[in-house]
Structure 1
Amino acid sequence: MNPSALDLSRLQFAFTVSFHIIFPALSIGLAGFLAVLEFAWLRTGKQHYKDLCQYWSRIFAVGFGMGVVSGVVMAYEFGTNWAGFSKFAGPVTGPLLTYEVMTAFFLEAGFLGIALFGWEKVGKGPHFFATLMLAVGTLTSTFWILASNSWMQTPQGITVENGHVVPQDWFQIIFNPSFPYRLAHMGIAAFIAAAFLVAATGAFHLLRGRRDPAIKSSFSMALWLLMIFTPIQALVGDQHGLNTRKYQPVKIAAIEGLWETEQGGTALNLVGFPDMNAEETRYAVKIPHLGSLILTHSWNGVIRGMKDFPKEDRPNSSIIFWSFRIMAGLGMLMILTALLGVLLRRGGRLYENRWFQRLMVIMGPSGFIALIAGWITTEVGRQPWVVYGYFRTSQAVSPITPQEAGVSLLIFVTVYSLVFGTGIYYILKLIRLGPPFPDSRSHTPHRGLDEELSGRRPLAAAAD
C-alpha cells in the first residue's frame, strides 16, 4: 500500500478517535454520578440533589449524543480506510462490537428517554431504575469495547486460516492478558475525568459567590471521588505497566526512551528527546535504578532496550515518550490536588479558599487531556501492529490513494470542528449557567428539564 495513504488514514483515525473518546468518558463518569445523586435525593428528600441530577442529565445527554455520532463514524472508517483490518480481524471484532450494541447500546437507548424526560411521568422507583440502567449500560459498553481493543493488543484464543482469524476460544479472546488492567484503567479514568469537570464547575460558581447546597454538594462529592480514585488509578497503572512489560516489552522500551539493555539496574529517563534515526535519547536526564524499581519492582531489574528488537517492530518513541509523561505527570498532579482538598476540608476552608478553587477550574479539563495522552501512548505504542504480532498496520489499510485519504481527512477536520465544537460550546454554556438557585427554579435559565425541553430541539434548549 502507498505509505502516504497509510499515514493519512492513521492521522484521520487518530483525529476521530481523539474526539470520540472525550464523550464516552464523560457519559461513563456522569452516568454513575447521576445514579448517586438520585439515590441521595430518594434517601434524604433534599431538593438540591434532584436539581443537580436534572442539571447534569442535560450535560450527560449532550455527551451521550456526541459519543454515539462519533462512534458510528469510526465504524464506517473500518470499511473506508481499514478494509484489510476488517477482512483479517472481522470474525473477532465484528461479534464483540455486535455484543456491545445488543447489550449496552440498546440498554442505554431504551432507558435514556425515561431518565431525561420521565421525572413527572413515571414513579420514583422506575425512574431511579432507568438511571441505574444508564450507568450499567455505559459500563457494559466499556466492557465490550475494551475487550475488542485489548485483544488487538494481546491477542489469544485464535488461529489464522486463509488470511483471517478464526475464533477458537471466546473466553480467551475476551479475557485476554491485558483486558482486566485496561478495563480498570479506562473505567477509573472516565470517573476521574468527569469528577474533575464537576469539581471545576462547582469551583467556578464558588468563585462567583454562590454558596447554596447544590454547589457545595457537587464540589464536595467530586473531591471525595477524586480522593478515592486517583490513588487507585496509580496502582492500577502500575500493574498495567507490569503487564505491558511482559507482553509488549518494546512498547515499554519506547515509552522510557531506552535503547540499550542495562544490566545491574536500569536508569529512568526523566526527560529527553528520543531520536529514532540516531537510536539514542538526546539530552536525557537520568535517575539511576529508578527505571528498574518502577518497571520491575526490584533495584537491579533488567528492562530490554529497543535495540534488542528489529527496527521494523519498534514504535515511535519520540511520540509516546512524551505522551506517557503528560499522562503520568497529570496523574501525580491529580493526586496532589485531591490531597489538598482533604487538607482544606479538615481546616474548614474548602468552600472559601479561592486559590484552590482557581486551581480546580484550571484542572477541569485535565482528566480528558490525560485520557487522550494515555490512548496515544497505548495505540502508537502498539505500532507497527494493528493486531499485535499477527497483522501489521500497513496490511490493514484500504487500497485508496493519498488524494482520497487527504480529502476525507480534510472533510472530517472541518465537520468535526463545527459539529463537535458546537456540542462542546453548549456543554460549556450549561456549565457557566450552573445548577438552579434554590429560590429561583421558575426563572428561565434554570427551569426543570422537562419544562425547558418540552417541544423543543435538544440543542435549542440552551438558556438565553
Structure 2
Amino acid sequence: MDVLTLSRLQFALTSMFHFIFVPLTLGLSILTAIIETRYVQTGNEVYKKMAKFWGKLFLINFAIGVVTGVTLEFQFGMNWAEYSRYVGDIFGAPLAIEATVAFFMESVFIGVWAFGWEKVSKKAHLVSIWLVGIGTNLSALWILLANGWMQHPVGYVLRNGRAEMVDFLAVATNPVGLLKFGHQVTSGYTVAAFFVMGISAWHLLRKQNPDFFKKSFAIAAVFGFIATIAVAVIGDLHAAEVAKTQPSKFAAMEAVWENCSNAPLHLISFPDESNQCNLVSALPVPSLLSILAFHDPNAVIKGLNSFPKSERPPVTPVFMSFRLMVGLGTLFLLLAGLGLYFSKKGTLEKNRWFLYLLVWSIPLPYIANQLGWVVAEVGRQPWIVNGVMKTSDAVSKAVTLPQIIFSLVTFTLLYTLLGFVDIYLLMKFARKGPEGHNEKVAHESDEISFAADAATN
C-alpha cells in the first residue's frame, strides 16, 4: 500500500459514510415540510404530531451528517494538497457559496424549527422548515456543481501552472452538474420516502397508532412515486450527457469494447477486462443503446478499446454498479406504485406481505445511492478532473504513509462509533413512535431490529 492508494481508500471511506446521511437529509426535510404544511392547512393535530415525529428523525440524521462531512473538507488540504493547489480557484468557489449561504441558512432555521414550537406563529414555523429544506437542497446544488466540474471541466484556463476560473456562469450552469443535482436530489427523496414507508409499515404490522402511520404512509407513497419517476427521467438525461462528455465512462457503464453504430443494449451481459471483451452478451435490443445515448439509432458508441489502457476506468465495478442501480431503481418505482395503489384503495393493512417487504426495503435506496456514486467516481478514473488532472498527480507530496495509516484507522473507528450511535437513535425513536400514542398490540423486545422483528412474525 502506498500513500496514493491509502489516500483514495480513506476518502472513499469517509465520503461514502458521510453519504449515508445526505440523501435522507435532502428528502426528509422536504417531507417534513409537506406534512407541516398539511397541519397548517387543516389544523389537524395528527399532522402536527407527524411533523414532530419525522422531524425528530431528520434532526438526528442531520446532526451526525454534519459531523461526518467536516472531515471531507480537511482532506482536500491534507491528503490532496496538489489537487487543491491546482484547481482550488475553481473548486473552492461553489464550496464557499455552499458554506456561507446554503449551510448558514439551513443551520439558522433548523434551530428556529426545532425550538420554535408554540413560540412563533404556525406560519412562521412552517416557513422555517421550508427554508431548512430549501437550504439542504441548495447545499447539494453547490457541492454537486463542484463535483460536476470535476466530471466535465468548463469555464477555466490553464495559467500560471494551475487551473483558473474565467467564467463563473459556465461553472454554475454546467449541464453535468445540474443533471447530477437533479438525479441526486430525487434519489434522496426516494430514500426518504422508503424510510417513512418502511417505518410506517413496521408500526402498521403491529396495529400501533394506525391513523398516524396510514397518513404518513400515504404522503410518503405519493412523494416516493413522483420521486422514482423523476429519478428515471433525469437519470436517462444524465446518462446521455455522460455519453457525450465522458465516453470512456459510458463505455464502461455498458461494457462496450469496440466502436459500434446502431449499438444494441444487451439485457444480459458481463465484462471480462483481462481479455477486453464480454464473457456474456445476450438478449440484445437492436439500436437501443445508441438511442438512449444520443437519441439516434445510427449514433456511434465509442468503445473502450478506443482509449489507451492507462485512461480507461475499472470496467467491472462501474458496469456492475450501474446495472444494480438501474435494477433497484426499477424496483423502487414498482414498490412505490403498489404502495400508492394500496393506500388509495384502503387495503394497505390487509396486504401484510407488502408491509413486510417495505420494512426489508428500507436499506435498498441507500445502497442504490452508493452504487450511483461508485459509477460517478470510479468511472471518472484515472482522472480526478476529467482530462485535466490525474488522481495520481493530486495527492499531497508532504504526507507520509504512517500519517495516512493513523488517520485511516482513526476515521474508521470514529465512523463506526457514529454509525452505531445513528442506528441506535434512529431505531429508538422510530420504534417508540409519536409522543402520546398508545400501543394496541404487544411486540417483541425493543432490542430486536426492524428486520429481525419482522422475520419473527
Which residue is equivalent to 2:216? 218
Contact 2:243 2:293 in 1 (8 A): yes
Following TM superposition, by how much is the alpha carbon of 1:211 offset from its aligned partner in structure 2, in angstroms?
A: 4.9
Following TM superposition, by how much is the alpha carbon of 1:181 offset from its aligned partner in structure 2, in angstroms?
A: 1.1
Contact 1:267 1:286 in 2 (8 A): no
1:436 aligned to 2:421? no
Which residue is equivalent to 1:171? 169
Which residue is equivalent to 1:450? none
Cα separation, partners in 2 of 1:148 and 1:200, compared to 1, 3 Å: same
Which residue is equivalent to 2:27? 29
Q: 1:43 aligns with which of 41, 50, 68?
A: 41
Cα separation, partners in 2 of 1:321 and 1:404, compared to 1, 3 Å: same
For 1:339 and 1:79, locate their aligned partners in 2 and report how far apart those are by CA, in whole Å. 46
Following TM superposition, by how much is the alpha carbon of 1:35 offset from its aligned partner in structure 2, in angstroms?
A: 1.1
Amino acid at match of 1:244: V
Which residue is equivalent to 2:112? 114
For 1:112 and 1:53, locate their aligned partners in 2 and report how far apart those are by CA, in whole Å. 13
For 1:162 and 1:296, locate their aligned partners in 2 and report how far apart those are by CA, in whole Å. 37
Amino acid at match of 1:124: K
What is the CA deviation profile of residues 333-372 of structure 1, one whole-angstrom value per residue up to 9, with x for unaligned ones? 0111122224324543123210111111111122111111
Match runs of 1:2-17 below 5 Å: 4-17=2-15
Following TM superposition, by how much is the alpha carbon of 1:288 offset from its aligned partner in structure 2, in angstroms?
A: 4.2
For 1:394 and 1:222, locate their aligned partners in 2 and report how far apart those are by CA, in whole Å. 44
Contact 1:293 1:299 in 2 (8 A): yes
Partner SS state of residue 271, structure 2: strand
For 2:209 and 2:126, locate their aligned partners in 1 and report how far apart those are by CA, in whole Å. 28
Contact 1:212 1:437 in 2 (8 A): no
Following TM superposition, by how much is the alpha carbon of 1:111 offset from its aligned partner in structure 2, in angstroms?
A: 1.2
Amino acid at match of 1:253: A
Cα separation, partners in 2 of 1:438 and 1:410, compared to 1, 3 Å: closer
Stretch of structure 1 that moved more, 13-22 or 287-296? 287-296
For 1:136 and 1:347, locate their aligned partners in 2 and report how far apart those are by CA, in whole Å. 33
Which residue is equivalent to 2:332? 334
Which residue is equivalent to 2:131? 133
Which residue is equivalent to 1:417? 416
For 2:96 and 2:266, locate their aligned partners in 1 and report how far apart those are by CA, in whole Å. 43
Which residue is equivalent to 1:373? 371
What is the CA deviation profile of residues 136-190 of structure 1, one whole-angstrom value per residue up to 9, with x for unaligned ones? 1111111111111111111111001122111101000111131221111011111
Amino acid at match of 2:413: T
Match runs of 1:270-285 below 5 Å: 270-285=267-282
For 1:342 and 1:90, locate their aligned partners in 2 and report how far apart those are by CA, in whole Å. 46
For 1:231 and 1:126, locate their aligned partners in 2 and report how far apart those are by CA, in whole Å. 32
What is the CA deviation profile of residues 59-92 of structure 1, one whole-angstrom value per residue up to 9, with x for unaligned ones? 1111111111111100011111111110011111
Which residue is equivalent to 1:267? 264
Stretch of structure 1 that moved more, 59-68 or 294-303? 294-303
Partner SS state of residue 22, structure 1: coil
Contact 1:212 1:438 in 2 (8 A): no
Following TM superposition, by how much is the alpha carbon of 1:215 offset from its aligned partner in structure 2, in angstroms?
A: 0.6
Number of residue pairs matched?
Answer: 437
1:58 aligned to 2:51? no
Match runs of 1:389-408 below 5 Å: 389-399=387-397, 400-408=399-407
Contact 2:141 2:178 in 1 (8 A): no
Which residue is equivalent to 1:184? 182
Which residue is equivalent to 1:237? 235
Name stretches of at least 5 consecutive residues in structure 1 with no aligned partner: 441-464
Which residue is equivalent to 2:446? none
Cα separation, partners in 2 of 1:204 and 1:103, compared to 1, 3 Å: same
Contact 1:189 1:233 in 2 (8 A): yes
For 1:169 and 1:417, locate their aligned partners in 2 and report how far apart those are by CA, in whole Å. 42
Which residue is equivalent to 1:443? none
Contact 1:27 1:63 in 2 (8 A): yes
Stretch of structure 1 that moved more, 234-243 or 89-98? 89-98
Amino acid at match of 1:420: G
Cα separation, partners in 2 of 1:198 and 1:342, compared to 1, 3 Å: closer
For 1:170 and 1:235, locate their aligned partners in 2 and report how far apart those are by CA, in whole Å. 28
For 1:60 and 1:111, locate their aligned partners in 2 and report how far apart those are by CA, in whole Å. 14
For 2:344 and 2:120, locate their aligned partners in 1 and report how far apart those are by CA, in whole Å. 41
Stretch of structure 1 that moved more, 393-402 or 201-210? 393-402
Cα separation, partners in 2 of 1:37 and 1:301, compared to 1, 3 Å: same
Cα separation, partners in 2 of 1:218 and 1:242, compared to 1, 3 Å: same
RMSD over aligned CA atoms reads: 1.7
Partner SS state of residue 174, structure 2: coil
For 1:346 and 1:77, locate their aligned partners in 2 and report how far apart those are by CA, in whole Å. 48
For 1:328 and 1:50, locate their aligned partners in 2 and report how far apart those are by CA, in whole Å. 36
Following TM superposition, by how much is the alpha carbon of 1:278 offset from its aligned partner in structure 2, in angstroms?
A: 2.2
Following TM superposition, by how much is the alpha carbon of 1:14 offset from its aligned partner in structure 2, in angstroms?
A: 0.9
Amino acid at match of 1:260: E
Which residue is equivalent to 1:18? 16
Partner SS state of residue 159, structure 1: strand
Match runs of 1:137-148 below 5 Å: 137-148=135-146
Following TM superposition, by how much is the alpha carbon of 1:217 offset from its aligned partner in structure 2, in angstroms?
A: 0.6
Contact 1:104 1:141 in 2 (8 A): yes
For 2:191 and 2:344, locate their aligned partners in 1 and report how far apart those are by CA, in whole Å. 24
For 2:269 and 2:414, locate their aligned partners in 1 and report how far apart those are by CA, in whole Å. 37
Which residue is equivalent to 1:452? none
Q: 1:100 aligns with which of 98, 109, 115?
A: 98
Q: 2:359 aligns with which of 352, 356, 361?
A: 361
Amino acid at match of 1:98: A
For 1:309 and 1:409, locate their aligned partners in 2 and report how far apart those are by CA, in whole Å. 34
Following TM superposition, by how much is the alpha carbon of 1:284 offset from its aligned partner in structure 2, in angstroms?
A: 3.8
Q: TM-score, normalised by structure 2?
A: 0.92
Which residue is equivalent to 2:294? 296
Match runs of 1:69-80 below 5 Å: 69-80=67-78
Match runs of 1:141-156 below 5 Å: 141-156=139-154
Q: 1:256 aligns with which of 242, 254, 257?
A: 254
For 2:76 and 2:429, locate their aligned partners in 1 and report how far apart those are by CA, in whole Å. 34
Contact 2:205 2:349 in 1 (8 A): no
Contact 1:196 1:360 in 2 (8 A): yes
Following TM superposition, by how much is the alpha carbon of 1:374 offset from its aligned partner in structure 2, in angstroms?
A: 0.3
